């Protein structure tokens, strides 16, 4: 089981040193020690990261998984890590649009280089990508490390991979947060290491990679041998470094050179210069009889000269002779060739080797910059990886320059984290207790100062003095230092060695040996050596020395000290342009022991890095500060009052914003020009609120865009489907406007289908379409055509048909779901369809046809046609009412389609045999029918105004469940098919006629029942009983309609006396009508007397009833054709039974004859009623709605303002319309009184 450092870090020590219960140097060291021994190397001091070098790779701490885990997370959410600091840098760079820089400081061997590489790895991983240029920049950023480390790093006593040069890499980013270019600046390459190394150290890595890793042919070409045979490699006595495979590293270096754009010729030239340096180092000298330098081995000169591209004598002369130009200004000088002594010859040899290597390294950096491609983007992320503070037994001019640069970096840290921070609290009027600290500006001025004079200024002055036989230049330097700096508190002379002096750095006292200071500061390269290289036939070497030699020029070259001051100032200036981040690296032991810890060494670094003072300032101060204007601009989106623009003062806006998000008042203070937030956790909370707000807004935008994109795709797909069928095939009403959903059976929820796809190796295929279809076969037993259910799945590769097949399981025959057919999509060449409104599709496959009935055939055909177009195949689509379908057996089956105008079924009727099949199809919509396009606004308005279907169904069920009690038997005649029933006179209304057969409609409705007479009961309508629910599609919703039966309305009731009727007519008293279906009635019914006979020629009518008697029934009238009478059996425009007289009930309605268009109804009853009837109270008048003086609108959807000039509106509120605009944005005034722009399609105008 691997070590889980993340879980361990939660249990070992404290993540943030500002949370220590007791702040002291000992407590800091103890916490770092405890965490290191638990393999936890990172600790915070607020935003500063402290990293302890473990001297081994901790498993599980780095890599893609950890990068993914830390991406987008705040530092308090996960354990301390360099990835967390890198994520904060990148997030601030992209969100705040401010350049960032990380300053990595610490002793040599503290792990600065590896930390810098981890930051570059993280930034390259999380930054935007996609284009080849962006990926190229990322690759160069990472691969350049290998090349620059090979030529610029070396093994020292403190570090196996110590940076012997300073590197400041800036990565440029575009407006989308993607790397667009970059640049590398190098500082102070330790060129003296080329010619000399201390015991136990090595030269630069590239020398060992070339001598150990090069191929046999390369070694022969360069004349290479083992490292111990070269003077420039054997001085330290160390050739192998633990953990380094020189052969592998050489291969990586060559691959990295290719990645940064170097050609094979350029790589070969670079390696050749390394070989030249190695051979130069093997040229030795001896003193001849005249005391001049002479070459010991001429054969070594021959090898070197051949690599340089000059004659052997030319090289020997340049090393052993020196050309001197005499004469003053304004007169011709004399040229003198002077023999050099042995020391002079060695000096020339080493100077040439150092010059070649330094200029080759600068050329290598140029290659990297050319590959990065610096752009004009000003947004940069800088990573400073520079040599750490060095204290050796013998510290020379190189250590002096290195430690000076580290002093300048420490000064930046002090200025920004300690000095300026405390000064800012005072200026801003923030309550603050001052913290004492050491300001190293006094040490920086001691080294670079001009007034009073600093060490480097004095050094330059001494180098200009003429040499003396009595006193060396280095001795003059010490004398001048004592004269000018003798009383300085940070300068003193060594009591052990007269040539040494001591400086009190921020990191401790360092003793410097002044021997060689003046020579190394002048850094002289004689003209003879420059001319030697310029005369070379090796073009690459020749290009490294482009100087123009002017023998009469008295201009002195720039000293090394001056260059150091200039480079340090430029570096500080570049860093100050960015928002700085700090990583303080600590070397825990001096022996490079894995997880080893030395208390004294660590305590010393904690002290000079100023960690104790940093903790105190962080505990007492504020973690974040920002000007009012920028704070409101950056976080104003969190509050409605500050977004998009706050009209008040910025300071007031900060207070409004912080109060709105309810941040604890103890956590923030408002200064004179800035807002201060105390703890990082509070800042993280505010930042998280902002990111969540932007995330939610982005989701809304994405949702709208996805909806628009999907709808656009749907409309295009539907239009394409329409183009395939328009004018060729009748359309079904349900099919024209149907949305293409793709997966119509939700196949993923069917475990059996998913298992079958996986077992068949089809689970990785993209599913384009699924549906439940019918396969049409023939039942020999029933001797008729039959439909068989099938599931089909169409993928990018094939069409798969799922059906139940008989399988024997343990001797028992069972039906099991299987893939009955697998049809490669490339073999589907076309399809045959009829011209009628059916769902049959005859797919043309290479060797046979497949006949299916698919209610979503349009979608299937469209997808198949699109896939054929993508594969540059022809998809033949034919329309005919007679199809010859080829069976798998090779036989043909004739499929005929005929229109059936009499059928009321949705599914076509089938009639057929094994050889033929006839499909009877109900007529559909015309073939030229196209889908209707509903705009987004219309669709949303319909959603709001549409009455829920379930509410309609509940109302209908309520009508049917509560029929009134009816006592009357007389009723009006039943209407004809589609007609209205007759109206009953004081009786029951006639039944509604049966509805006409219609083409499939959104809702089938039967004939309406006849209206009852006054007091009569309305007739019951007769609806069409559908064989299958009719469906109407309204924006993805279905309304199921059947035969809707609506009753007629009832009338009032009365009582009366009957009359005697004619003997030919069976007398029947009329009755008071019951309440109709529509209204609840309270009536009293009395029975009348006998009827009276009438003359035979007169159409009888119901007699008048007496008090409390039932009126006579209406007579059975004769069939009438034109005359309209009361009573008789009505025909067209006639009505049934007679009308009652005063206080009598009306006669029952006659039995109306079956009509075709008009309906008969019963007679009218009298208006005189004596029955008791409860009258309904009149409805209360509705209050008058006072019309607004200005137009208003209801908000249909909430809208959040995101730009200047817009206004937020809430769903359900009413807004005033100030101004309408054709652009679609109306000026409105919301319920809060705010005026601004809002989208018109979010509103519904009221007046």
Question: Which residues fall in the annotated binding site for ATP?
Answer: 106-113
Return the number of other C-beta atoms located less than 10 Å from residue 524's C-beta: 14
Of 162, 348, 369, 406, which one is the catalytic site residue? 162
Q: Give CA angle at 445 (439, 447), nearest 5°.
A: 120
User: Judging by DSSP bridges, how do beta strands 293-295 and 285-287 pair with one another?
Assistant: antiparallel
DSSP string, 252-293: HHHHHHHHTT--HHHHHHHHHHHHHHHHHHT--EEE-TTS-E
* Cα–Cα distance list, 110 to 525, 568, 1088 (Å): 35, 22, 121
Task: Give the residue from 189, 187, 176, 42 showing the smallest Cα distance to 119.
Answer: 42
585 contacts: CB under 8 Å, gap ≥ 6: 51, 52, 53, 104, 105, 106, 107, 110, 111, 112, 115, 388
Helix axes 628-635, 680-725, angle to 10 degrees: 40
Residue with tokens 């420039």: 232
388 part of the active site: yes
914 part of the active site: no
Q: Say if CB 360 and CB 541 are below 8 A apart.
A: no
Residue with tokens 């003359």: 1095
Q: How far apart are CA 581 and CA 382, in angstroms?
A: 10
Tokens of 996: 């006409």
The three-state secondary structure class of 542 is helix
Q: Please, what is the end-to-end C-alpha distance for the chain in angstroms?
A: 73
Q: How far apart are CA 1042 and CA 1029, in angstroms?
A: 6
Q: How far apart are CA 1083 and CA 1171, in angstroms?
A: 7
How many residues in total does the chain contain?
Answer: 1247
Of 9, 105, 163, 744, which one is the catalytic site residue? 163
Tell me the sheet residues that pair with 319: none
Of 99, 113, 160, 1049, which one is the catalytic site residue? 113
559 part of the active site: no
Of 388, 972, 984, 1236, which one is the catalytic site residue? 388
**Burial (0-12, 13-18, 19+ Cβ within 10 Å), 1031:** middle
Of 18, 43, 108, 316, which one is the catalytic site residue? 108
HSE, side-chain direction, 13 A CA sphere, residue 1179? 3
181 part of the active site: no
Task: Give the residue from 1006, 1008, 998, 1138 showing the smallest Cα distance to 1067.
Answer: 1138
Q: Say if CB 895 and CB 836 are below 8 A apart.
A: no
Torsional sign, CA 663, 665, 668, 674:
positive
The strands making up 828-833's β-sheet, listed across from edge to edge, are 812-824, 798-809, 784-795, 767-779, 849-853, 840-845, 828-833, 876-879
* 822 phi and psi angles, rounded to 5 deg: -120, 115
289 part of the active site: no
Of 109, 1016, 1058, 1075, which one is the catalytic site residue? 109
108 part of the active site: yes
Helix axes 112-126, 132-152, angle to 10 degrees: 170
390 part of the active site: yes
In 1097-1242 the beta strands, taken as DSSP E runs, fall at: 1192-1195, 1214-1219, 1225-1229, 1235-1239
**Burial (0-12, 13-18, 19+ Cβ within 10 Å), 260:** buried
Of 201, 390, 407, 428, which one is the catalytic site residue? 390
* 37 phi and psi angles, rounded to 5 deg: -65, -20
The strands making up 579-586's β-sheet, listed across from edge to edge, are 42-45, 48-52, 579-586, 100-105, 380-385, 166-173, 179-187
Tokens of 826: 């490339």
The three-state secondary structure class of 152 is helix
What residue numbers does the annotated binding site cover? 106-113
If residue 148 lies in a helix (H) or strand (E), which one and from where to where?
A: helix 132-152
820 part of the active site: no
Active site residues: 108-109, 113, 159, 162-163, 388, 390
């Amino acid at each position: 089981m691997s070590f889980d450092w993340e879980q361990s870090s939660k249990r070992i020590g404290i993540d943030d040193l500002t949370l220590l219960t007791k702040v002291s140097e000992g407590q800091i060291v103890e916490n770092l020690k405890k965490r290191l021994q638990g393999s936890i190397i990172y600790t915070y001091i607020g935003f500063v990261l402290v990293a302890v070098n473990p001297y081994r790779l901790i498993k599980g701490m780095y890599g893609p998984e950890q990068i993914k885990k830390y991406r987008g997370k705040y530092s308090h959410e996960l354990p301390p890590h360099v990835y967390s600091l890198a994520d904060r840098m990148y997030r601030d760079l992209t969100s705040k649009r401010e350049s960032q820089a990380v300053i990595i400081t610490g002793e040599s061997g503290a792990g600065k280089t590896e930390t810098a590489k981890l930051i570059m790895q993280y930034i390259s991983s999380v930054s935007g990508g996609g284009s080849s240029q962006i990926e190229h920049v990322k690759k160069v950023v990472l691969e350049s490390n290998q090349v620059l480390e090979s030529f610029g790093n070396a093994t020292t006593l403190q570090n196996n991979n110590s940076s012997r040069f300073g590197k400041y890499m800036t990565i440029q980013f575009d407006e989308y947060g993607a790397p667009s270019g970059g640049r590398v600046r190098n500082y102070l390459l330790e060129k003296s290491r080329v010619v000399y190394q201390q015991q136990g150290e090595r030269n630069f890595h590239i020398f060992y990679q070339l001598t150990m890793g090069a191929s046999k042919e390369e070694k022969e070409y360069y004349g290479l041998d083992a490292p111990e045979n070269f003077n420039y490699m054997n001085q330290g006595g160390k050739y192998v470094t633990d953990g380094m495979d020189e052969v592998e590293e050489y291969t990586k270096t060559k691959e990295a050179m290719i990645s940064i754009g170097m050609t094979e010729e350029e790589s070969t030239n670079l390696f050749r210069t390394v070989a030249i340096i190695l051979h130069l180092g093997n040229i030795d000298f001896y003193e001849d009889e005249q005391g001049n330098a002479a070459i010991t081995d001429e054969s070594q000169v021959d090898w070197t000269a051949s690599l340089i591209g000059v004659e052997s004598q030319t090289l020997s002369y340049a090393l052993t002779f020196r050309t001197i130009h005499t004469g003053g200004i304004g007169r011709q000088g004399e040229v003198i060739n002077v023999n050099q002594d042995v020391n002079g010859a060695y000096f020339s040899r080493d100077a040439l080797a150092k010059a070649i290597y330094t200029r080759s390294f600068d050329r290598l950096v140029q290659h990297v910059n050319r590959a990065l491609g610096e752009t004009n983007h000003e947004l940069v992320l800088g990573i400073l990886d520079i040599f750490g503070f060095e204290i050796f037994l013998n510290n020379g001019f190189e250590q002096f320059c290195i430690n000076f640069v580290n002093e300048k970096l420490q000064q930046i840290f002090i200025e920004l984290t300690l000095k300026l921070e405390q000064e800012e609290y005072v200026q801003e009027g923030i309550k603050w207790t001052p913290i004492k600290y050491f300001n190293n500006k006094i040490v920086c001025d001691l080294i670079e100062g001009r007034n009073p004079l600093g060490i480097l200024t004095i050094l330059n002055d001494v180098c200009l003095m003429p040499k003396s036989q009595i006193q060396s230049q280095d001795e003059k330097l010490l004398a001048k230092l004592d004269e000018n700096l003798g009383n300085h508190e940070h300068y003193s002379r060594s009591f052990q060695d007269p040539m040494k002096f001591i400086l009190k750095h921020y990191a401790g006292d360092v003793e410097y040996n002044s021997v060689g200071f003046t020579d190394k500061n002048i850094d002289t390269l004689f003209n003879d050596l420059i001319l030697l290289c310029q005369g070379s036939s090796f073009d690459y070497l020749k290009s490294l020395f482009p100087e123009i030699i002017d023998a009469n020029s008295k201009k002195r070259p720039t000293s090394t000290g001056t260059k150091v001051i200039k480079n340090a100032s430029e570096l500080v200036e570049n860093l100050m342009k960015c928002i700085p981040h700090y990583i303080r690296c600590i070397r825990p032991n001096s022996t490079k022991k894995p997880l080893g810890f030395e208390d004294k060494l660590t305590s010393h670094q904690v002290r000079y890095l100023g960690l104790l003072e940093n903790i105190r300032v962080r505990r007492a101060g504020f973690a974040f500060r920002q000007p009012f204007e920028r704070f409101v601009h950056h976080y104003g989106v969190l509050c409605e009052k500050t977004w998009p623009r706050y009209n008040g003062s910025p300071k007031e806006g900060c207070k409004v914003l912080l109060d709105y998000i309810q941040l604890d008042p103890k956590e923030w203070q408002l200064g004179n020009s800035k807002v201060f937030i105390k703890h990082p956790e509070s800042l993280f909370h505010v930042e998280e609120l902002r990111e969540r707000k932007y995330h939610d807004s982005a989701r809304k935008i994405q949702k709208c865009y996805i909806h628009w994109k999907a709808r656009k795709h749907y409309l295009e797909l539907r239009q394409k489907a329409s183009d395939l069928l328009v004018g060729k095939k009748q359309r079904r009403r349900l099919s024209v406007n149907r949305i293409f959903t793709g997966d119509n059976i939700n196949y993923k929820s069917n475990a059996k289908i998913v298992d079958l796809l996986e077992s068949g190796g089809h689970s990785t295929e993209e599913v384009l379409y699924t549906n439940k279809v019918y396969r049409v076969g023939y039942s020999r037993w029933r001797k008729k055509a039959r439909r068989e259910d099938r599931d089909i799945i169409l993928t990018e590769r094939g069409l798969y048909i799922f059906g139940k097949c008989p399988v024997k399981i343990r001797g028992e025959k069972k039906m099991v779901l299987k893939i009955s057919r697998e049809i490669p999509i490339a073999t589907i060449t076309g399809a045959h369809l009829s011209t009628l409104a059916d769902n049959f599709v005859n797919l043309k496959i290479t060797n046979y046809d497949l006949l299916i009935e698919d209610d979503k055939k349009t979608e299937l055909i469209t997808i198949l046609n699109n896939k054929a177009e993508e594969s540059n195949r022809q998809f033949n689509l034919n329309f005919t009412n007679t199809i010859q379908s080829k069976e798998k057996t090779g036989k043909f089956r004739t499929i005929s389609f005929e229109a059936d105008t009499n059928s009321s079924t949705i599914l076509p009727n089938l009639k057929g045999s094994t050889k033929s099949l006839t499909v009877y199809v109900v007529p559909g919509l015309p073939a030229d029918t196209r889908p209707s396009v509903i705009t987004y606004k219309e669709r949303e308005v319909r959603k709001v105004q549409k009455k829920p279907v379930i509410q309609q169904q509940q109302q209908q069920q309520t009508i049917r469940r509560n029929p009134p009690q009816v006592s009357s038997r007389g009723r009006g005649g039943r209407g004809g098919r589609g007609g209205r029933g007759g109206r009953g006179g004081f009786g029951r209304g006639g039944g509604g006629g049966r509805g006409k057969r219609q083409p499939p409609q959104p809702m089938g409705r039967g004939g309406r029942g006849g209206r009852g007479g006054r007091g009569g009961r309305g007739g019951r309508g007769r609806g069409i009983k559908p064989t299958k629910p009719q469906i109407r599609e309204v924006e993805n919703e279905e309304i199921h309609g059947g035969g809707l039966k609506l009753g007629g309305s009832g009338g009032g009731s009365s009582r009366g006396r009957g009359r005697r009727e004619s003997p030919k007519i069976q007398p029947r008293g009329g009755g008071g009508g019951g309440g109709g279906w529509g209204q609840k009635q309270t009536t009293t019914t009395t029975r009348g007397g006998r009827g009276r006979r009438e003359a035979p020629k007169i159409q009888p009518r119901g007699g008048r009833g007496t008090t409390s008697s039932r009126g006579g029934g209406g007579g059975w009238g004769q069939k009438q054709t034109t005359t309209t009478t009361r009573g008789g059996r009505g025909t067209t425009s006639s009505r049934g039974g007679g009308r009652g007289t005063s206080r009598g009930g009306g006669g029952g309605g006659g039995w109306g004859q079956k009509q075709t268009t008009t309906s008969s109804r019963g007679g009218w009853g009298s208006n005189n009623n004596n029955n008791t009837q409860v009258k309904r109270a009149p409805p209360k008048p509705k209050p008058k709605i006072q019309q607004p003086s200005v137009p208003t609108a209801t908000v249909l959807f909430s809208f959040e303002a995101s730009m200047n000039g817009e206004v937020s509106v809430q769903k359900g509120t009413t807004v005033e319309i100030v101004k309408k605009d054709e652009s679609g944005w109306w000026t409105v005034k919301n319920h809060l009184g705010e005026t601004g722009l809002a989208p018109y399609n979010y509103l519904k105008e009221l007046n």
